[in-house]
Structure 1
Amino acid sequence: MLTFFCLKIEILFLNNRYKLSLNPTPKKLEKNKYKILLIFFILIIIANQIIISNSISKQSSDAETINIAGKQRMYSQLITKMALYTKNANLQDDNISNLKKVIDSFKKADTYLKQKNKLQYNIESLDILFNKNTPYFNKIISSSNKLIEDPNNEVVFNQFFETIKNNEQPFLNSMDAIVNEYQKLSENRLSFLKKMEYFFITFTSISLFAIIFFMFLPMFRKNKALTNLNKELEKFKKEIEQKEKDKKSVEEILHRTNSVARIGTWEVDLINKEVSWSKVTKEIHNTKNDYIPSLEKGIDFYKEGYSRDRITKVIDNSIKNNSSWDEELQIVTAQGKNIWVRAIGQPEFINNECVRLYGTFQDINTVKLAQIELKKANEELNAILDSGTISIIRTDTNGIITYFNEGAEKLLGYKSEELINKKTTAIFHDKEEVLKRGKKLSTKYKKEITGFDLLTRLARNNKVDSTKWTYIKKDGTSIDVQLSVSAIRDKKGNIVAFLGVGTDITKLTEQNKQLASFAQIASHNLRAPVSNLSSLLDLYDICETSEEKEFTFGKFRTVIAHLSETLNTLIEAIKIREKRESNIEIKTLSFSKVFKKTEEIISEKISRLNAVIISDFSSIDTIKYNESYLESIFINLISNSLRYSSPERAPRIEVTTTINAGKIELKITDNGLGIDLEKHGHKLFGLNQVFHRHKDSKGVGLYIVKNQIESLKGTISCTSEIDKGTTFTITF
């Protein structure tokens, strides 16, 4: 009975290992496979012949085209010859008839070549040559037709030969170029044909070899499988006798390991100091079948360090305390390969003494490595997601936050432990914005939508919800966020959670506002000069005298000069915007040195107006900034203070620096005319905005200065009182 039971187990094992051997492919399927391979080979040959035949056909067509192109030379020369024959009065009619035939052939050949290129070749270089040749062709045809109409007219006859003289050679040169193009095309196709032939010869040879290989491969596999099967059966015969003796041990191992993966088994007889491994266990260790293991050798297979220490500890604990173990550890096989295994062990006690250890041994290397890689990938993904300021927040169906990544922490200022399982997303949403969206959705769906539902309405309906929201950070500041909300569903399609991915678009929103502002400024400042040009053009059309036209033309110059100046200013502003902070040269500067240079540049104005300029850079004299920008700030603002000084008092300008809230502030204060900010404040830094009459006023300086300051993330503000003065404050 035991022999039959063991035989059944071994046959099941061999069936799994040699499934292909015990379940051969039916002959009918084998025949069909050979038919398919043969058909495939025939199709390759047919495809080869079709392509080659097509290429030969194209070669033949090319030869015909080259022949006709060559005939054009003959026709052009034959026209001249036939024209001479028309002078023969006796055969004039016959010669004229022959001339007509030659001209007709000449025209047909030209039409054929052009149509051939258009419909078949479509070569741009040939189109160019035909277009170049057409005038010569037309002149030859035209003069020939005139000669046919009046062959006895000496003037016509002379004009014909003059035309032939001027056009025949250029025509022949062009035709030579055309023939050369066709010749190149034909040679390229011939080269392609040769390459294709080589390719198909190679491909056919490889395919034939592959077909032969796959035809005989099953036979080789069958022979090998049968050989291996015979060897296994021979070993099996010898093992039956040994397994009969170990009936009780085998039955017990089979019974107790029936509920686990039957990959390999092992047993340690602590009384007789004997260790036995199953065949699969030996295979996992990469040992030979005749290998005789021991407990010490078995432990030594475990990788030195944690794995070896752990297996030693659990075995010792099992022997002492009658405890089982289930561990995932690493071993080093007999061939030096590191693999992961699952070792399961169970002790057997008799009279409170451990007499035997037994269990299973499973190779889990592939699964374990996949788990490690997956864990690594998840850690890397989480690191990537947490490295930036992309907010990833998961909530339950009621809006309670269940996941809050590091990106969300950086973006909003909250720690995950402050919110997870404690707060809803309402904590950082702008309440007024939520109310407005609730009203909008309620109107759309014709029912009241409030609370968390308005944030997830589209996601619940399997729609993509990507909306701009305002987040309120922990410190109370607000940021613009593009939020995408999606629903997480289980296998049955039920919503179990929501996932919100938010990206900070505050900078993008600000850039869009700046672009819109710039577009508005450009439109406003270009509209007037363009309108003036249009009006002057209409006025110029109705001018009657040269003086009026000259006067109007002078106005044209003035308007164009203003337009050019406006465009240059806009271009400068664009350059400043495009540079941005990363492309602008920054170095350590001294306010006092740059200011002294500014005073030297505008010293004439200062002296002329008896201006008093007081500077105080004692609080902070150095700054990391762009030198040309700092010079521009000083020159433009000081020049404005001088330009718009009060005629009733000498100009007085104070320039100071201070530190305010950790930032450098530069203040330039004057006692000039002042600006009505209630009236002009909204357009103070606009292009071409002038608030006082002055011959040098252009309204450009403040616009450029503002763009330069903002390009380096600074701000400029202004306070002013009419007839008292103005203060500009620049925060760096």
Structure 2
Amino acid sequence: MEKTTKKSKSKIPYHKIFIEQAPTAIAMFDKNMCYIAASNCWIKDYKLQGIEIIGHSHYDIFPEITQGSKELHQECIDKGIDVFDEIPFTYKDGTVKLLSWNIHAWYVGKNEIGGLFIHTIDITPNKEYELKKARTKEIFEQTKETAKIGTWEENLSTQKVYWSTMVKKIYEVSDNYIPTLTNTLNFYETDQSLPQVSFIINEALHKGSSFDYEAEIITAKHNRKWIRVVGKPEIIDGKVTRIFGIIQDISAAKSARTQLSQAHAQLKAIYNSESISIFSTDSTGVINHFNKGAELLLGYSASEMEHKESPMTFLPMDEVNKFRRDIALQYGKNPDNFSHYKDLPVENVNDTREWTYIRKDGLTVPVQCTVSSVKDDLGKNIGFIVVSTDISDLKAYQNEILAKNQLLNFAEQMTMIGHWQWNLASESVKWSKNLYTIAEVDTSVQPVFDTFFSLVHPEDQPLIAEVVDDAMRDKKFESVTIRLITTTGKTRMVHIAGVAVTNNQGEVVELMGTAQDVTELKMVEKKLKGLLESAPDAIMIINEQGTIQIINKQTETLFQCSPEELLKEFIEDFIPNILPFIKAAKFSNSNNTRQIGVVEELIGLRKNGEEVPISINMGPVEWEGELVISLAIRDITKQKSAERKIIKAKENLEVLAHKLTEQNRQLADFTHITSHNLRSPVSNLNSLLDIYKTTDDEVLKESLFGKFETVINQLTLTLNTLIEALKTKGPHTDEDVEEIEFEEVLSITKDLLAGEILKSGASITSDFSKCSKIKYHKIYLESIFLNLISNSMKYRSKSRKPEIEIKATDLNGNIKLEFRDNGLGIDLEQHGHKLFGLNKVFHRHPDAKGVGLFLTKSQIESMGGTISASSKVDVGTTFTINFN
């Protein structure tokens, strides 16, 4: 509710005739809220026809008026304030309407309030049609403006003119402005309004005629406004003694009517356009409007189509059926027997697609067509309007455009994103939009050669300069991969490829080519390298011909060969009799490739001819569009006998598991694995084997093989975990111990976890200044770094980025290593006793297996060291390793 304390200091005359003729609902009350006068609109709006209200209390006529409203009326009388509000009003018949209220005091003398004026406007229709708010907002605003009604009076005896505060606001004059008949007329627009108004006023003065006119004025602030002036003369003894009335600002309504007229004219012009086909249908599908554009496009006249035909006259049935089906599915209807006229009563259909129209002469024309629903005031569909544009010319060029697009797409695939062109004669350089994107350069920049050169990493600038010089000399552009520092400081790996264009004299006149952002690819390669180097097994990747393509450090160690002696060599030179297993991978049909699994009983040949028993896990891999075989090769010299017995003699599995458990009391946690993870698969295998032996059903036998494979794979996974842990507990030789740089191990770990580090935003800092290296088992140390750092990121806090600090110290030969993080932390009082146990997890993480810390502790203790932990929940954890 808005209140103002501004009081009108002039007497507001009232008269029954003036109030009755007011064009809106106005009532005048005395201090006791008894009716003095009411307009006809008031009587009508409040359903008071035939009821005597003059002299009666407003509260008696409307007993449902709340106490709050009564107190508001009294406040307006006591303090002379104006009130503007919107409140619901309940009539005697129970109907409720939302009314806009304007209450202000009137005066019988200076500073003496005689009662109240109450002016109301029914704004219920505006609220009821909120769905059409955008459409009716302007009209609603105009209605509110119309409610600003001011009163005026001219006393012919005293020649004084009175304007209420609202009138002064309309004319945009100050509150102390004194109007006269002369200066009032000066506000009217000279050419049109002034002659008309002068005539009307003259008629009222001499003949006592009432008037109601609209005119244009120019306000004191030089703004143009339209006003409505209603006036009535007061005649005493046959002589006009004064004229009084009301003034309304109708500028908004006038403007709305003008705009509506203009919009109607524009819509009519669009509808009558000859370049656009427009027709509409009624709710039964019969065409009811057919414009000139439709006549020209289809060859039918409006008289032939309107109220006679449907669009089926010129639409192909297959396209109509597809349209109906698409619309039905879009709105969740059954496509069978669907009709967009009957089955979409209120949906807002708006569909744009290509159609084929069949002209009257039988020729066809392609069009881009939009079908939209037409609604009535209640929001129900009463038909459709269809706007179509002839796209024949567009179709004529379609094949050419498609061909060019195919060529461009091919070029995009070949050039991989960015394109560049350097004209040596004009020194002009052109970049494709994608090259701007790669370099993060604003497209408004006109590039030159130095633009790109300046972005090249300083260490790579000599390389790119050399490539350009060689291209000029040899007329051949050699591809190169360089580092690019973008305008935002990002470092990207970019592969540059190009060609040198020569003239008839054989001179290089232009260089052009492509730029490919290979940052992600390089990261993947780096990560792959890290994965390969951190793998405990020797890794080989060979192609279909059996040639070695990729190896890791463990491969060099296993075969005691350098990379030059292994790469590009034939696999059977190092692993005889492996080709039959490789051929089983079925290179010819990648869709049918399968995991070959573990291959045993093979021999590896070292450089000196020494034979090494090995176990190989192999499988097909898709690599750069080529199918290759990945080999994970393990030296099984020490455990060959035990593992062969475990795999081939299932009846000894439980005995072997028991022996392994008894060998070291620290492996007591394996009881669960040996009793469940091993016994259950063995029992399952025995059951399956019994069924296989006793059945004669060949189909059942064949299905049992699949079940054997599933159980064996599960068994293999359990055994691998068991073997790795046992191998950790087993003895190691002096050959396993070497001098290792902590920083080198950390670098390998970062490469291996590069993707997770980027994804989590982890910060890894290290301080190896007090101890930079150690003599240790390298695989164990790499495993320790990998498990502890990956744990810190795996159990990071969601509320902050992970921060990992690694510090090494050497105190009198006692080397200590600390890993500190700011992760979730561990409740050591509750979980400390089982922190390093097997299969023990302390957080609900999908990747938590409870193996990492167990293996880490086993590796450290096998080398004579210890590991301990301190932790605080939601603060972080510190693992401390004492190596001596």
More helix by share: 1
TM-score scaled by length of structure 2: 0.26
Larger relative contact order, structure 1 or 2 (CA cutoff 8 Å, min sep 6)? 1
Return the structure number with greater strand share.
2
